[in-house]
Amino acid sequence: LHAQRRVAICKRKKHSNTIYFYIRDVKHAKVEK
């Protein structure tokens, strides 16, 4: 579990921008509904 968490954190750091835009899009989608 710890190893998986480290990998997930590394992926988050690498794709921080992608996740940021994804979260922003999700928020916009919720507002539109």
Half-sphere exposure of 33 (CA within 13 A, CB side): 6
Condensed to tens digits (0 to 9), the pLDDT of residues 1-33 reads 678 877 776 666 666 667 777 888 888 777 765
pTM across the whole model: 0.35
pLDDT of residue 21: 77
CA–CA dist 20, 12 (Å, integer): 10
Q: Quote the crossing angle between the two packed helices 2-14 and 16-32, to the nearest 10°.
A: 80
